Copies of this chain bind each other. A is one copy, B any other.
């Protein structure tokens, strides 16, 4: 029997307890041993709850109990999760987590401690919720050099953008509905400003490229400025706007960015709707691959955490090698990254297009009947620096969204 402890009895933590209870027979079979939850750590009381008798309020009870071999950290946030995780690993207990903030910030250090002690620090649930992506990157795509990862990594923003596209609502209205349905938090900043997606792409890129990608180096733009009119233009030309988190290898350089991007139906991410997430990967021999599923939610996320518990149980005294060194990966300056650009501009196409093409060269002009006193155009591919320079020479630009097709 292997005894475990769960730190934090919130959404994911209670999901972990539920999943282990629901599927205990098949989980124990796959783990090769019986998994038993000995403690649940939370500051709150849960009278009448099935875990009531396992509840402890002091981490010392857990860290000092040699029977506890695996710790599930589902507290979220950097503190005190960082201290608890580090102490657990130093004490020879494996840790499984859904905590992307902590993994993005202290991943390399915690992985090194686990490696030195022949135990494991696993975080499948930190990116893409229930979608298996960390383990495939680590142990399935090992024959490839990965040159691109692009993901829809945040369910809240994908729900909001899908909602805006399906019923024409504005950002505020769609956000409100997402909050009412429990898909967005009361303080939605981490989601809608792209910070959550930024941490996730930092983790995935670090594993894919083998060096540490610091999330603070990643250019990040959220979806708060996307309007119903932007969506109308996108739909008029058969495209959709998605919050994409991308990292790419270009020659010997790497870049990473999070921003809204217009994509067309040839892109496998095009039809990912609502709270679903998907991660597109290009490998130099594999070609294109995509992983799709529930990017959040209690049970899907818990499914990924418990799969990590099973893996820890199967590797109690053996480190599962991760390709993530503490050596920092220097990212290219975003100004050198190329994209096409969708640009809305005030005025009439008849009056302004010639002047715009004098600056930008040939563009693809778009006008839609329901939107007056402005039009839009899509540029050819150019660097961010070139775009910025040219945009300063044009008056009346209302907004810009990157376009990838």
Contacts and interface: CB of A to CB of B under 8 A. Distances in A.
Interface string A131-153: 11001100111111100000000
Counting every copy of the chain, the complex holds 2
A228 interface: no
Contact of A306 (B136, B143, B323): B143
Contacts of A131: 289
A283 B299 CA distance: 10
Contacts of A124: 140
Interface in A134-181: 135-136, 139-145
Contact of A286 (B268, B287, B294): B294
Given A287-B294, A300-B286, A323-B30, A143 B19 contact: yes
A224 to B, nearest CB: 29
- Name A's interface SS: mixed
Given A285-B22, A287-B130, A321 B314 contact: yes
A372 interface: no
Contact of A289 (B31, B130, B144, B271): B130
A77 interface: no
A284 interface: yes
A365 interface: no
A262 interface: no
Interface string A278-292: 000001111111111
A362 interface: no
Contact of A285 (B32, B289, B302): B302
Interface in A47-87: none
Contacts of A293: 286-290
A283 B142 CA distance: 26
A271 B29 CA distance: 36
27 contacts: A23-B285, A26-B210, A27-B143, A29-B323, A30-B142, A30-B323, A31-B142, A124-B140, A135-B140, A136-B140, A139-B311, A142-B307, A143-B302, A143-B306, A268-B271, A271-B271, A285-B300, A285-B303, A286-B294, A286-B300, A286-B303, A287-B293, A287-B300, A289-B294, A290-B292, A290-B293, A292-B292
Interface of A: 19-20, 22-23, 26-27, 29-32, 124, 130-132, 135-136, 139-145, 210, 265, 268, 270-271, 276, 283-294, 297, 299-300, 302-307, 309-311, 314, 321, 323
